[in-house]
Structure 1
Amino acid sequence: MTRISAASVGVDIATRAEVGPRDRQEDRVRTVANADGSWVMAVADGLGGHPFGDEAAQAAVDALPERITSQAEMTAAFDAANAAAWGLHPEMRSPDEGVSSVIALTTLVVAAWTPEGRLLVSWAGDSMAFLVPIAGGPGWHSTPHGGPMGFVSRGIGMFRASPGSTYELPAGHLENLSEDVPAARVQGWISDQGLLVVLATDGLFDPVLMTHDRGWFGDDADDLSLGFALPPERRESADTVADTLMDTARFAGLIDNTTIAVARLTLGT
């Protein structure tokens, strides 16, 4: 298959954020669209109960570059985000702690469309990425890095094993590394009718899962995606997708800050 160039793919980006029942908004979102057709989109969720979660989320998205073109650059971007959050409030942390109730912690999910026309997606924590083919059918979603009772086993701002070590790139990088979503499949979706890239904090999907169980995410019983939540008429723009998903979370009952970022990729526009 001939690789699709970034310049041949139009992108429509929209974001939504609601504070829900929380006292403040700790989520952060960042989107950057470049003149060459590449873009970077990220969502970070300051971990609830941590006094500096909002600062960690802001530091993480601020540390990201405006262009990510390779796996190595994605790794470097996560390392920079982790270093930025880890550097907050050093007087409050212990070098022996990977997770603490007082250090600044956040989750992070990043999607990047490269100048060469590749989709890169990585994440840390329980914020998630979803790929929804506009034409319908099974898509793909990331797997949250979390444990029982909502414990985040891997996040941004955690202690690294040794000084100078690089941050471990989360599993699920989509260019040549993932058996689930090879590059050819992503480009096939775009060549058909297009692709929705959805990034969201757990404020979106936690209340929905409690109401509808995991089947809500799927077009069929064998694959999980956000496709079922988005009928064809609600895929016509990034704004419509973002509004539909936020309305779904509201209907289920917001229990947290909720932040959504959507990129709608279509060929030849």
Structure 2
Amino acid sequence: MMRKFGILGYPLGHTMSPPIHTRLFEMSGHSDDYEIFEIPPERLAQEMPMLRELSGFNVTIPHKVEMLPYMDRLDETVGRYHALNVVDGLHGGLVGYNTDCYGFQKTVETMGASLSGSVCVLGAGGVGRMFAIESARCGAEVTIAVRENAIGLAQRVQADIRAQTPDAAVRIVDISKLHALGEEFHLLINATPAGMYPKVDGMAVDAALLPRCEYLFDSVYNPSETRLMREARAAGCKVTGGMAMLVWQAVKAHEIWDHAHYETEAVAALIDEMAAQVDRDFH
């Protein structure tokens, strides 16, 4: 019998989850069904019986936190971030996981960077919070760069980091003044929507900062190459875009669901394939 999986969110628009997961199922020898479940928050409770019948599903905004009370068990990764993005229904009840942290770590690892040096995270929203916490857990000296109106949000992230990793080095700076500090960063991470399609000319930081950064990870995946990535590459940085993390976090979901294994080279090829599909379909 064909198993049923899917992506839960609202609104979902042009989600890349179906093509990514369909290819991962094919690569591991499965031919499962993967659907889109576009469910508004007010309908979540009444749709839970249907969701419980699924073999597993991915979860995105706005349900990453709202799904927590419906889980029978939670993986420790969920406890770190108080949010889930993968649900396993194959191994007894509904079990919630956060595979974004794995996707982030694998992206950094495969680009040749490290989370043990100086890391600057641009933005302190949901994904920025995870980047900052994960970097601090791995021993990085973390700088959180935000606009003045987001200082309070950044301070909450800073408090979360210190609660989990008391000896962590973490500070907050004004993003508009970051380039003027004259500091160098091993890894610069864009966790803002700046540069995302259709506002592709946006950049979260002044280009003057980029020559002092060794690596850049831009979490934006549409377009596959942002202006920030182009400018960083021209400044001598080693760069990667958001599609890498999107695919790697999906890979982890398949490891959870099926104990599937994928070679790094095969995942790299899938990242390139999906990045090309984004540019072809959206532009």
TM-score between the two structures when normalised by the length of structure 2: 0.31
Q: Which has the higher contact order (CA 8 A, sep 6+)?
A: 1
Higher fraction of helix: 2
TM-score between the two structures when normalised by the length of structure 1: 0.32
Which of these two proteins has the greater Rg computed from alpha carbons? 2
